[in-house]
Every structure is written in structure tokens, then in C-alpha cells.
């Protein structure tokens, strides 16, 4: 008889039109890091929401230390010692780290806060687990990695024994990921039970002891991580063999389609340029990647190209036409498609239907309206066509409210809409962020197909594997400047790292 910290036995949770969790069993011991692996929409989040008291399962039992418990709310989960580090941090930006940690469980004496005690406990915890963070810094001043440590400290401060990490590495730099792994090992050695949700296989391999794989709401199996290869786990996850390589035909390079000349943009907060004399061309039949550490001007350059931000000076030429001062709508008509960075903010209207979202770039064309009156028939046909062509999965087809779809399928819908719009240039910023292997594969194939059709593709990515795998040419951004212009076959990842950190500067910068 083994002693499990937490057992979720035969959990079944249904939503209208979909069985999100179908008879899933997950057992985790103290001192164990248990990875939960699955594609987007496989049911990982639902299962964790059940454990965290956000959803009530139709069937199944939850045992804590061998005793059955009913978890009815996140508060109850906390009381039972279950804590969750969310993907999006729940923090008050204008409070200090310490204030954030104690929020909700303040120690008081006659109504007066006892900060000294709390501070001591926080300092002790952060030393014990190697969670370096200044308790008096304001949360808005610290890095994302440090904010994540604050979340972890919050859980520890509340004496949680079971910690859930929901895709914790999605927001971190490679260096911070290393540190997080170390922290997780410390927690494990101190006897905590850890559930680690991810779809990055190398992380699972690096840190976890066991791995449970979900696919389409079903439990595929639990393996000892040491005994399984990443390929085997990937296969379990997607149900077929996975192609880690991006297949590309030889390049047929054409004329420049999008040209940027001497773009300058001033920072909104500081007295410096976030884009400092940027010039480059994107040719037809080419995938040009902008590599670099996040925050070196990549989002700004894409916003300038799409017209969401207005450059201070410089020209943008699309198909020989100067679009520097055109409206966003005109740029779209002139042939610019754009997969935005923030899916939920810019990419989709979450509370509209899938059909309405798929029409967002086309509804004003004569085919879809007549004197301002919507042609619903052709709009429906468009939606159905894109849904089947791009395999966008949802519970109610084109009528589905987009909010209820999985992140991967929302992204597929955006990519479908942008590729379907008449265009010569496709700009995509972080199109695979937070997606699983299967969806990433699909999106990479889409990008390559675009290039083979003779479109110009501009891809911004912070993922070096992706940069190396997909691109025909790479430019590196550092502090708002282009510091390298290279071909992937002429450069190593290490060299790229040097460019990205500003310690090396290339030649022939466009």
C-alpha cells in the first residue's frame, strides 16, 4: 500500500458538447514532481480546476492523504494545503512583495498588522527554498521570473503541501527556467508534492519523476520519466509520430515586398528610442525571422508595420506603395496580414462567435455585404470553409462562442483568418506561444506553405529552436537596433545568443 498525497480517482467532467475529463486518474506522492502532459484542450486545465475547486466533477473521488475530501472552492483547496501557481499571476502591482504574499492571511494584533512576523517568515522561506526576491520591492518593478517566485512564496506562506504549477515556464527566459527547475527540485526535496503542467517535453525530462499523459480528455497513461524518451511521450500526447523537423523545399527568393527604411520610435516612458534606425526588407518566398530577447523592440516594430503604433520617422513600403501613414484598414486592403502577439487582446473577440471572428478582416468586402447589409450566407460559407480547411475544433462549429474554445484552436482560427485574407505579407509575432507540439507543427507548416506560395513572411519569435528551424534568414534585435543579419545555416545557437545579449555585432546589416 503506497501513501499518496493526493489521488484523483476516475474523474469525469462534462461540458456542453464535450467530455473534458473522461475517467481520469492521477496519483501523486510527497517528494515527487509529477508532470501532466497534454495538448491544448486535452483536459489538463479542467482536471486542475477540479482539484482546485473551480469545477465540480460529475463522477469520481478525490483523496487527500488517503481520506476522501470534497473541494468546493479555491478557498477550501487552500485550507486543505493545495496551492496553485497560475499562468497569469494574481498580484496587486502597486503592493510590495511582502504585502502581496500576506494578502488574505494577514496576522494582526488588535486590528494592527504584524508585518515583522510575516517578514521573518517570508525571509526564512525564501532562504530555505532559494527563492531570491526582495520583500520590499513593488511587484510592478520586479521581473516576471521574480513575480513567479512571489506566487510560489504565497503558496509556501500558506503552508501548502501540494503545489500545482500551471505552465510556469511559458513566460520565462531560458535562464529563469533553469532557476525555476532548481526551485522545484528544492521543493521536492523538502517533501512537497508537485504537479507540473506543461507541454515542453525537455522540461519534463529534466525535472519530473513521473508523467501522466492526457489526450482528448482521456488518460493515456502514466510513465516513469526516466524510462521514457521524449519521442515516446510526444507520441502518447498527440497519438501519432511527431515531426520535430520543419520540412522545407528549396527557397525561391523573389523581389522585396515589404521594406522598412530608417524607422525611429520614441519610448513612451523613457527618453530613448525603442526603435533606433531600423531598416530591412522582406522578400517574397522568404521567411525572415526577427530573433532577440523579449522587449528589444520586436513588438513595437510589428505594431508600427500594422499601424497600431505610429513611427516618429521612417518609411514603410508595401508592394512599392508607401504605407507609412495609411490607416490600418488600408494596410489590410493593400495586402498585410498579421497574427498578433496577444491572442485575447488583439486576436479574437472572445465573446463573439467563431463565425464573427473569422469574418473580422473580410466583412466589409463586397462579397460579404451589400450596401452595409451583411450577406450571412457567404459569411457562413467562409466560416465553414476555414473551419474544415484549418481543422479548427470547437463544440458547436461556427456558432461557438470563441471564449469556450481552447487556446490552440483560437490560434488556429486567427491564423486561418490571416492566411485566408488576400495578402502578400504575413507578419506573425510569437504565433506558437503557449501551444502544444501538434499545433506548433501545424502552424509551422502553414508558414512554410505561405513562403512556398511566394508570400513574404515576417516571423518574430523568442524561441531559438523555432528561429533556427523555420527561417530562411535571421535578423537579431538588440535595444531597438538590428545587430545581426545572418542565414541559419551560417550560425550556431550560441552565436545567436551572443548577438541577442549585445556582446557581438554582425556585418552587412541590410
Binding site for other proteins (CB under 8 A): 14-17, 19, 58, 306, 308, 327-332, 338, 340, 345-352, 356, 359-361, 363-364, 369, 372-374
Nearer to other proteins, 386 or 483 (CB): 386
Nearer to other proteins, 315 or 369 (CB): 369
Least Å distance, CB 352 to other proteins, is 6
Nearer to other proteins, 131 or 219 (CB): 219
**183-204: buried (b, 16+ CB within 10 Å) or exposed (e) per residue?**
bbeebbeeebbbbbbbbbbebb
β-pair partners for 370: 373
β-pair partners for 109: 112
Nearer to other proteins, 63 or 360 (CB): 360
Least Å distance, CB 340 to other proteins, is 6
Least Å distance, CB 494 to other proteins, is 36
Least Å distance, CB 68 to other proteins, is 23
Least Å distance, CB 188 to other proteins, is 38
And the C-alpha cell for 18? 464535450
Nearer to other proteins, 43 or 168 (CB): 43
Least Å distance, CB 185 to other proteins, is 40
Least Å distance, CB 359 to other proteins, is 8
For the residues of 184-215, what is the DSSP string, one character each? HHHHHHTT-EEEEEE--HHHHHHH-SEEEEEE
Sheet holding 256-266, edge to edge: 273-283, 256-266, 313-318, 321-322
Using alpha carbons, list the distances in angstroms from residue 266 to 276, 313, 341, 417, 423.
Answer: 8, 10, 21, 32, 29
Task: Tell me which residue of 285, 287, 282 sits closest to 305, measured CA to CA.
Answer: 282
Nearer to other proteins, 100 or 324 (CB): 324
Least Å distance, CB 342 to other proteins, is 8
Nearer to other proteins, 114 or 327 (CB): 327
Nearer to other proteins, 395 or 501 (CB): 395
Nearer to other proteins, 192 or 423 (CB): 423
Nearer to other proteins, 356 or 441 (CB): 356
Q: What is the largest CA-CA distance in the chain?
A: 76
Measured between alpha carbons, how far is 146 from 135 in angstroms, rounded to an integer?
11
Measured between alpha carbons, how far is 283 from 207 in angstroms, rounded to an integer?
42
Least Å distance, CB 111 to other proteins, is 34
- Indicate the angle between helix axes 115-129 and 174-189, nearest 10 degrees: 100
Number of helices (H), then strands (E), in the chain: 16, 24
Q: Which residues contact 301 (CB under 8 A, 6 or more apart)?
A: 260, 263, 275, 278, 290, 460, 477
Nearer to other proteins, 138 or 360 (CB): 360
Do residues 106 and 118 touch, judged by C-beta distance below 8 A?
A: yes
β-pair partners for 198: 37
Q: Which residues contact 277 (CB under 8 A, 6 or more apart)?
A: 262, 263, 264, 481
Least Å distance, CB 373 to other proteins, is 5
Do residues 150 and 101 touch, judged by C-beta distance below 8 A?
A: yes
Measured between alpha carbons, how far is 360 from 337 in angstroms, rounded to an integer?
12
Least Å distance, CB 462 to other proteins, is 21
Amino acid at each position: 500500500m503506497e501513501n499518496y498525497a493526493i489521488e484523483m480517482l476516475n474523474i469525469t467532467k462534462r461540458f456542453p458538447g464535450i467530455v473534458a475529463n473522461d475517467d481520469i486518474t492521477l496519483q501523486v506522492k510527497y517528494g515527487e514532481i509529477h508532470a501532466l502532459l497534454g495538448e491544448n484542450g486535452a483536459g489538463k486545465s479542467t482536471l486542475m480546476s477540479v482539484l482546485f475547486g473551480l469545477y465540480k466533477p460529475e463522477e469520481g473521488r478525490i483523496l487527500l492523504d488517503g481520506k476522501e475530501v470534497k473541494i468546493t472552492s479555491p478557498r477550501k483547496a487552500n485550507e486543505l494545503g493545495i496551492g496553485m501557481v497560475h499562468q497569469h499571476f494574481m498580484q496587486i502591482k502597486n503592493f510590495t512583495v511582502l504585502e502581496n504574499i500576506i494578502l488574505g492571511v494577514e496576522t494582526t494584533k488588535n486590528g494592527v498588522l504584524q508585518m515583522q512576523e510575516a517578514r521573518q517568515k517570508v525571509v526564512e522561506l525564501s532562504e530555505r527554498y532559494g527563492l531570491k526576491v526582495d520583500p520590499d520591492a513593488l511587484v510592478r518593478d520586479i521581473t516576471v521570473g521574480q513575480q513567479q517566485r512571489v506566487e510560489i512564496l504565497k503558496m509556501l506562506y500558506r503552508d501548502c503541501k501540494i503545489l500545482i504549477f500551471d505552465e510556469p515556464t511559458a513566460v520565462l527566459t531560458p535562464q529563469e527556467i533553469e532557476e525555476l527547475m532548481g526551485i522545484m527540485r528544492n521543493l521536492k526535496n523538502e517533501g512537497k508534492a508537485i504537479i507540473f503542467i506543461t507541454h515542453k517535453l525537455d522540461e519534463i525530462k529534466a525535472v519530473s519523476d513521473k508523467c501522466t499523459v492526457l489526450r482528448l480528455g482521456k488518460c493515456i497513461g502514466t510513465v516513469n520519466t526516466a524510462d521514457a524518451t521524449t519521442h515516446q511521450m510526444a507520441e502518447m500526447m498527440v497519438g501519432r509520430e511527431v515531426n520535430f523537423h520543419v520540412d522545407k523545399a528549396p527557397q525561391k527568393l523573389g523581389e522585396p515586398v515589404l521594406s522598412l527604411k530608417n524607422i525611429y520610435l520614441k519610448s513612451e516612458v523613457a527618453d530613448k528610442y525603442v526603435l533606433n534606425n531600423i531598416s530591412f526588407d522582406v522578400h517574397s518566398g522568404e521567411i525572415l525571422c526577427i530573433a532577440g530577447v523579449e522587449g528589444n523592440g520586436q513588438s513595437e516594430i510589428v505594431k508600427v508595420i500594422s499601424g497600431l503604433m505610429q513611427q516618429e520617422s521612417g518609411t514603410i513600403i508595401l508592394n512599392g506603395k508607401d504605407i507609412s501613414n495609411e490607416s490600418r484598414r488600408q494596410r489590410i486592403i493593400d495586402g498585410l496580414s498579421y497574427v498578433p502577439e496577444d491572442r485575447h487582446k488583439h486576436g479574437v473577440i472572445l465573446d463573439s462567435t467563431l463565425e464573427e471572428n473569422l469574418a473580422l478582416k473580410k466583412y466589409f468586402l463586397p462579397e460579404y455585404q451589400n450596401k452595409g447589409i451583411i450577406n450571412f450566407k457567404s459569411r457562413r460559407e467562409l466560416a465553414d470553409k476555414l473551419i474544415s480547411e484549418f481543422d479548427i475544433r470547437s463544440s458547436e462549429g461556427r456558432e461557438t462562442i470563441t471564449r469556450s474554445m481552447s487556446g490552440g484552436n483560437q490560434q488556429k482560427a486567427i491564423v486561418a483568418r490571416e492566411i485566408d485574407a488576400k495578402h502578400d505579407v504575413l507578419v506573425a509575432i510569437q504565433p506558437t506561444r503557449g501551444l502544444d507540439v501538434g499545433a506548433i507543427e501545424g502552424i509551422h507548416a502553414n508558414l512554410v506553405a505561405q513562403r512556398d506560395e511566394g508570400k513574404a513572411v515576417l516571423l518574430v519569435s523568442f524561441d531559438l529552436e523555432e528561429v533556427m528551424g523555420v527561417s530562411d534568414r535571421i535578423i537579431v534585435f538588440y535595444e531597438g537596433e538590428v545587430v545581426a543579419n545572418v542565414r541559419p545555416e551560417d550560425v550556431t545557437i550560441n552565436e545567436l545568443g551572443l548577438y541577442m545579449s549585445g556582446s557581438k555585432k554582425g556585418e552587412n546589416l541590410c
